[in-house]
């Protein structure tokens, strides 16, 4: 833990001073020069600092920009998503949500209603299971290995149609990656169907998912491909608005 504190202190020093050598960093941290050199080396390996070759000093690296960009994208996501979600909700005349991966579940951060929405249930701030929702499947399809492993170990059944088989879920996620969209058919709630598409951040990674949900009698599986095509256009627009230019 002490090493983590010192590494963070180095980043803070470089942020304040712009650049500094190992000797300067060691003096400010009150540690031996070899300790400062080891910490700087670890940060450099992660591209959090970089050496100014001709001067032998260090400055903040591109990795900081990447992390800042990811944070900015997350903070901007609700604001930039809202108008797109409202337009999609009017177009589909159903409920549209944006969800992010948070502590092993999908958390809804944006919502818009169509006039034909059967319910005005507020999903904002609600956490839903990854394996039983369309947004969750999209987030899980591109999730880090730790999140995938956790999801595979907690396949709770919510309806008779919930996927609780590890092999079936993995096959489903492969299909999501191949198609570029995910779906559910009464897997979280009986009578509720949904389709979702990925939203990408500045580095191209999936940072969120936008979904449209509606009653099973109206949103039937045969319509999923056409719904997904229009939904992906909206997801691409949101992605562009938060910095993705792929």
Let me know how long the chain is. 246
Residue 136 in domain: yes
Residue 65 in domain: no
Q: Are 114 and 153 in a shared domain?
A: yes
Q: Are 218 and 143 in a shared domain?
A: yes
Name the residue with higher pLDDT: 167 or 68.
167
Q: Are 24 and 89 in a shared domain?
A: no
CATH number of the domain that residue 46 is part of: 1.10.10.10
Q: Which of 114-118, 179-183, 230-234 has the lowest mean pLDDT?
A: 114-118
Q: Mind listing the pLDDT tens digit for each residue in 167-185?
A: 999 999 999 999 999 999 9
Mean pLDDT confidence for 139-168 = 95
Total count of domains within the chain: 2
Q: Are 127 and 8 in a shared domain?
A: no
Residue 171 in domain: yes
Among 22, 24, 57, 19, which residue's Cα sits nearest to residue 39?
22
Q: Is 56 left (phi over 0), alpha (psi -120 to 50) or beta?
A: left
Q: Are 210 and 159 in a shared domain?
A: yes
Range of the domain at 9: 2-60
**Dihedral sign, Cα of residue 148, residue 149, residue 155, residue 161:** positive
Q: Are 87 and 153 in a shared domain?
A: yes
- Give me the residues paired with residue 60 across strands: 49
CATH number of the domain that residue 79 is part of: 3.30.450.40
- Give me the residues paired with residue 101 across strands: 106
Name the residue with higher pLDDT: 103 or 133.
133
């Amino acid at each position: 833990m002490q090493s983590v504190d010192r590494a963070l202190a180095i980043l803070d020093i470089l942020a304040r001073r712009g650049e500094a050598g190992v000797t300067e960093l060691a003096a400010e941290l009150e540690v031996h020069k070899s300790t400062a050199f080891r910490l700087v080396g670890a940060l450099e390996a992660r591209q959090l600092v970089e050496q100014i070759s001709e001067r032998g000093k260090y400055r903040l690296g591109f990795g900081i920009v990447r992390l800042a960009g990811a944070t900015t994208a997350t903070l901007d996501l609700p604001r930039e998503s809202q108008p797109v979600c409202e337009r999609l909700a009017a177009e589909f005349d159903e409920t549209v949500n944006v969800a992010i991966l948070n502590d092993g579940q999908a958390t809804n951060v944006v919502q818009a209603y169509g006039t034909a929405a059967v319910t005005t249930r507020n999903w904002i701030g609600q956490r839903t299971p990854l394996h039983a929702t369309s947004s969750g499947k999209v987030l899980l399809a591109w999730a880090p290995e730790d999140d995938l492993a956790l999801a595979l170990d907690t396949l709770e059944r919510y309806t008779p149609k919930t996927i609780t088989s590890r092999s079936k879920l993995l096959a489903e996620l492969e299909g999501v990656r191949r198609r570029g969209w995910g779906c559910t058919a009464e897997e979280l709630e009986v009578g509720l169907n949904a389709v979702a598409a990925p939203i990408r951040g500045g580095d191209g990674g999936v940072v969120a998912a936008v979904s449209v949900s509606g009653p099973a009698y109206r949103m039937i599986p045969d319509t999923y491909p056409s719904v997904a095509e229009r939904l992906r256009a909206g997801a691409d627009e949101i992605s562009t608005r938060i910095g993705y230019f792929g």
